[in-house]
Amino acid sequence: MQTRITELFGIEHPIVLPGMSWISTPELVAAVANAGGLGILASGPLTPEQTRQAIARIRELTDKPFGIGVTLLMPGAQENAEIALQEQVPVINFSLGKGDWLVERAHAYGGKVIATVVSEKHARSAQAIGADALMVTGHEAAAHGGDVTSLVLVPAIAAKVSIPVIATGGFADGRGLLAALSLGAEGIAMGSRLATSQESPLHDQTKAAVVARSEQDTIYSRNFDGIPARVMRTQRSIKETRRPMNFFIASWQAMRAAKMVQQPVWKILLGMLAMVDKVKLLAYFGASVPKLKAATEQGDLDYGVQFIGQTQGLIEDMPTVADILQRTVADAEAIHRQQQQLFR
C-alpha cells in the first residue's frame, strides 16, 4: 500500500506509532519500524543524555527510518530536540510550540518534520513553516486530542493543505485505515492499538484493562493535567477529573514529579518563569506524572491514571506489532475489494 506518507518517510505501510511517554520506547519504536511502519520515540520523560542513548539503541535494533517526538511546551523538550538534530534523526514530530527552527535544521540534513495539530489554523501555520506532514488528532484520541472528531477534522484539514495528513484518534484496524484514506488522509497513527502489542512496555495489567473495557469507558477532561485529555474510566480517574487540583498542591507535586523524570527542579522553575501565562498548565501537567507512570509502568489503576483512546472498545487481543500492521493493511485491502462490488 503506497501513499505519500510511505513515499515521504521510506516506509512500507502508512501506519505510525505516535510518541507516547513511557510506552514509545526504543524497543517498541524499532519493532514498528522493522514491521514496516514509522515508530516515533517519546522524548518527554528523557534527559538529553537518555535521548541520545535511546536514539543509539533504536539504531542498534533497526536500520529502518524512525522518528522522535518533542512537546515543545514542556521543560527539557528543546534540549531533546537539539539532540535529535545533532543525531540527524530521520523524522521529527513536534507539538505545542513553534517548530520553524526544527524544520529549517532538519531539512538541512535531509530530515522530515511532522507537526501535530488539532485545528485548521495550526495546520495552515505548520504548512507555512515548511512541515512535511501533519498528524491531525481528533477527539477520539488518547491523551490530548482536539475538540472535533476525526470524521470531520481529518477531511476538513486535508482539503485545506497540500501536505499529507496522518489521521490520529479513532484508528485501530483495517476499517479505520480505509476510512482515513477515504477522508483524505494518507496514513494513520494507532497509539492505543500499538500500546497493547506484545512488544509494548505498557504493564500487562493495564493492557488487560484496555481489552476488558469498551469505547464508553473513557473520560475527556481538562481537570487531570491541565489540557483536555482522554483517560481510561476508573474509580481513580473519575476522582481525578471531578475538579481541577488546587494550584498550590499541583505546583508542589510538579516539583516532586521533576525528580521522577530526572529534570532538575531549577529547570522546571525557569520554565514556569519563562512562560508565566502557562504556569498553571505546567504545574498540572507535572502533577499528573506520578499517576501516569503508576498506571503505565506498574499497572496500578487504583492510584494511577492511563491515557487511552476510544479505540479501547475495538481492542480485543494483544498480538505482536508485526501482526497488528499486517492485519490492518490486509483487512483494509479486503474491505476495499468488497466495497468495489457495491459500485459496479
CATH 3.20.20.70, domain 4-198+315-337, yes or no: yes
Would you say the pTM of this structure is higher than 0.85? yes
d(CA 29, CA 290): 23
Model pLDDT, residue 260: 45
d(CA 105, CA 299): 39
DSSP string, 108-164: HTT-EEEEEESSHHHHHHHHHTT-SEEEEE-TTSSBS--SS-HHHHHHHHHTT-SS-
Angstrom CA distances, 324 to 3, 72, 327, 332, stand at 19, 30, 5, 12
Q: What is the DSSP letter of 173?
A: S
Model pLDDT, residue 246: 52
* Residue-range domain boundaries for the chain: 4-198+315-337, 204-298
d(CA 41, CA 31): 12
Task: Give the Cα-Cα-Cα angle 339, 342, 344 (nearest 5 degrees).
Answer: 120
Residue indicated by cell numbers 492510584: 303
Give the start-end residues of each E strand in the chain. 15-17, 38-42, 67-71, 91-95, 112-117, 133-137, 165-168, 188-189, 218-221, 229-232
Ramachandran region of residue 110, left (φ > 0), alpha (ψ -120 to 50) or beta?
Answer: left
Model pLDDT, residue 283: 63
Number of Cβ within a 10 Å radius of residue 136: 35
Model pLDDT, residue 48: 95
> pLDDT means per 10 residues in the chain (344 residues)?
97 98 98 98 95 98 98 89 98 95 98 98 98 98 95 98 98 98 98 98 98 98 88 97 64 49 52 50 72 96 98 98 98 94 80
d(CA 100, CA 97): 9
230 by DSSP, 3-state: which?
strand
Tell me the β-bridge partners of 115.
Answer: 94, 134
